[in-house]
Amino acid sequence: SGLGVIKKNQISRHKQAGVEVRSGADPVVERNTISDNEVGVLVADKGRGKILDNQISGSKHAGVACLSGAVCEATNNRITGVQAATAVMVSGYSRVVIRQTEFQAVKMALVVSGGARVTLVDSRVLHVNDDAITVRGEDSFLDASKTEIFGNSANGVVVLDGAEAKLSENKIYFNGKGGVVVGEDCLGTMSRNEVRDNVGKDVVSLAPQRRFVIG
């Protein structure tokens, strides 16, 4: 059936993924310490799963990677890393919901591309070395709400290359470049966000107002 529970393990120093979930599998990955792997948790090839209450650190490439039609939920995880890694990478038309997660001390916190759709709720993104959150490419979509994005080295949120983003009730502040940057061919909305005290402009949108609506 591919169902199961991976719980309360120390998983470290694998040359590929610490936990790998592929087609037909739908496990719960819960309360593990996952450290110093190439990828902490890999969900791919239409795999599914729930990633709950894990400490994921030191991944060389990505803390969590959801690729090739993956469908998963990630709740209450803490993802820290090395400065060359991405905390969560989602692509290949995958569908991911992230809740109550802390992203800290990685190169990028969240990258959404390749037609993926991600919901990010009630999370914290801090001390990231590059743009904290990036969504790029046609059909890629990010719905981010009630999330704090602060103290990062570059931009808070970047929307590029025809992607779409819905940003609501987020706090985006004290970032080393801008708060929110939107490319000219992108779609989306911004409403009820607190965007302030970033080194660059708080909001830069090159998209027409009818395509990216700032409320």
Give the pLDDT band (50/70/90) at residue 83.
confident
Two structure tokens written together for 155: 């931009």
Residue-wise DSSP of 101-127: -EEESSSEEEEE-TT-EEEEES-EEES
Q: What is the pLDDT of residue 151?
A: 98
Please report, as a single letter, which amino acid is at residue 53: D
Compute the residue count for the chain.
Answer: 215
Two structure tokens written together for 165: 């983003």
Contact 76, 55 (CB under 8 A): no
Two structure tokens written together for 41: 């948790």
Give the pLDDT band (50/70/90) at residue 144.
very high
Two structure tokens written together for 203: 């909001």
Share of the chain above pLDDT 70, in %: 99
Query: What span, in angstroms and rounded, lies between the C-alpha atoms of 88 and 133?
Result: 10
Q: What is the pLDDT of residue 174?
A: 98
User: Residue 92: which H helix or E strand, with range?
Assistant: none
In this structure, what are the phi and psi dihedrals at residue 193, rounded to the nearest 5 degrees? -95, 150
34 three-class SS: strand
Tens-digit pLDDT profile for residues 39-61: 999 999 999 999 999 999 999 99
Closest by CA to 153, choosing from 126, 181, 176, 179, is: 176
Give the pLDDT band (50/70/90) at residue 2.
low
> Whole-number mean pLDDT of the chain?
96
Q: What is the pLDDT of residue 37?
A: 96
Neighbours of 78 (CB within 10 A): 17
pLDDT higher at 178 or 83: 178
Give the pLDDT band (50/70/90) at residue 24.
confident
Q: pTM here?
A: 0.97
Please report, as a single letter, which amino acid is at residue 93: Y
Two structure tokens written together for 50: 């729930």
